[in-house]
Structure 1
Amino acid sequence: MNDTKQRILDVSLELFSQNGFSAVSIRDICRQVQIKESSVYYYFKSKQAIFDELLCLFEKKASDMMCQLDKALAEQTFSAEQNFYQTVCDTFFEQYLMDTFCNKVMRLLLIEQFSNTTIQNVYERWMFTEPLSFQSNVFSALMRVGVIQNADSEYLAVKYYAPIYFFAQRWLFSGALSEERKSAFRKNAYQHIQRFFTEIGVA
């Protein structure tokens, strides 16, 4: 990708994630990129086009992440559940929730979901529907091989994921994404996961 185009995307995302889409102008973006306003239109037709490309890049990255998790689940024999869940957590936490690009896009989605139903649907899909569906599939697989007792897999998915979402909101989506906040999230999330699996008789 052209360096200037990438710089426009990076600066736009930084500004959008801090202030929201409506509060940022093309002039604001160009001032940060240090290009003339007319120059941005060589790369993007409008501010909306910048937003749309950022969203497209995010959905591609999120889709790839979920495919990676689905592949890990399909290949899992559950002979070493801890290793499997370490892979799951490393992928979902490190490559998604704490990934700089994804984190900024999700902050932007958090802001824009209140005024845009399309964005609300995107946020709903990638913060709730897809993660919960994956977790439900994991618990169903654990039940099939007798690792855990039969139960409502969708309920277990919510019980597992709700605290992770809470900790993400507390540490990863409020304030700057610092190493201290990442560490606090990891500590809280992994403690929850350990307790959760102990409670259902896996750990």
Structure 2
Amino acid sequence: MRKPILIASLAAGLALALGCGKPASKDASRVIASAGGEKITEADFQGLVKALSPDPAQAASFLSDPAAREARAQLADQLAMQKAIVAYANLQGLAKDPGVQRQLERAQAQVYFQTLIQKRLAGAEPTEAQLKALYDERIAALKAQGQAGSVPPFDQVKGQLPNLWRQQRQQEAAQELQKEIRERIPVTLADDYKPVAAPAGQ
């Protein structure tokens, strides 16, 4: 299991989940970390790891494998420090700073958008036919540019195509989501603030 990568991905999501100002769930589990009176219980920690890890088996291994003990400790320390930073920033009055609030709103929108895309793509795996269609599409584009002379056959590059397919699906899902959001949540701009090129989805 690639624990450093898991820690990095979990830390970002857990920071938002634990620092969003909601009270911690009431449970009787052991407190594993605290900062400025804010507590992180073992149940909170486990629940968040399971919720935010893309692979349930990986999350379970991360939470139980004795070899992952140091990785768990590092993550708990990161989370406690994040709570401490939030508490310190609040003492400095940043919670009422309009500039900070705008940055937080922007970051929150980005996290929401990425999460919505991930939910749409959850469990999506390309079929052989989809990979072949993607390969043929790329070959056609290279031929149009006069660069398809040394392209390896499909069977040789098939193993590399799923990642390319996922990237393409993420881009398509982002465009679809933006279009849906604009249809459900009307967005208007003053004439002198309208972009020359129409935004995606319009």
TM over 0.5: no
| Structure number with higher strand proportion | 2
Q: TM-score, structure 1 length as denominator?
A: 0.26
CA radius of gyration, larger in: 2
